[in-house]
Structure 1
Amino acid sequence: MTTRRKTIKFKEFMDGSYKSYVPKRKSFKAFSIVTVSPTAMLDPTIITFGGIVLLIALAERYSGSIGMYDAAEKIDKLMGLIFPIGALSFFLWFIFTNPFIAWS
């Protein structure tokens, strides 16, 4: 990186006229509709729901690894039906009932 040096007169230095004009940016206000606190994810219901999904996924993987392909396929079909409906309804419940979310 090269820096360009400029020689200025002492009189210009003292009165500050050597400084080039740098236009300032216009500031603007940004408003947030919903603020979500990270501590909202520590809600026991969220942890329970995540734990249940994790246990079902592990059960499906385990049953597939020990050769119970029929059980793994049934778990997969069940989760393919229940998970999207449950996730959407849980997300809506979380948004509308969590006290850590401030509607402003």
Structure 2
Amino acid sequence: MRKTQRFRFRKIFPPPLKPSLTRSRLFRAYSFVPFSPLALLDPTILTIGGIVLGIAIIERILERWGVIDLVDQFAKVMRFILPVAFYSALIYFFATFMF
């Protein structure tokens, strides 16, 4: 049977460096942009959303008044405008928002 040779841990690895005597000063930095939900309230996105919501409300009012021809024209235009507005606002949001 072979004899097992043992090494002390301190002989293999050098001891850790002693901490310096000077203390580092604490520096507090505050950043509200990435963590604040208010940062999502971008005026451009809110404006685009408000315009689209306003057109949808006008469409519902015209439908209640019985002006079906005009509502039909609004529906044809909105079928194109809604996806374009949504995707452009989404691209704008990701292009300008800092994460």
TM-score of the two chains, using structure 2 as the length reference? 0.60
Query: Alpha carbons of 1:63 and 1:42: their partners in 2 closer, same or farther (altered >3 Å)?
Result: same
Q: Provide structure 2 residue ranges, at least 5 long, that are not aligned to the other structure.
A: 1-33
Where do 1:75-94 residues align within 5 Å? 75-94=74-93
- Cα shift at 1:48: 0.8
Is 2:46 aligned against 1:47? yes
Query: Alpha carbons of 1:45 and 1:59: their partners in 2 closer, same or farther (altered >3 Å)?
Result: same
Count of residue pairs brought into register by the alignment: 66
- Larger Rg belongs to: 2
CA distance in structure 2 between the aligned counterparts of 1:37 and 1:68, rounded to whole angstroms? 44
Higher relative contact order (CA 8 A, sep 6+): 1
- Cα shift at 1:36: 6.9
CA RMSD of aligned residues (A): 1.6
Query: Alpha carbons of 1:41 and 1:67: their partners in 2 closer, same or farther (altered >3 Å)?
Result: same
Aligned AA (1:92): I
- Cα shift at 1:40: 2.5
- Cα shift at 1:92: 0.6
Q: Percent identity?
A: 41
Query: Alpha carbons of 1:42 and 1:68: their partners in 2 closer, same or farther (altered >3 Å)?
Result: same
Where do 1:10-49 residues align within 5 Å? 37-49=36-48
Aligned AA (1:42): L
Query: Alpha carbons of 1:36 and 1:61: their partners in 2 closer, same or farther (altered >3 Å)?
Result: farther
Q: Structure 1 segments of 4 or more deviating over 3 A?
A: none
What corresponds to 2:61 in structure 1? 62
Is 2:72 aligned against 1:73? yes
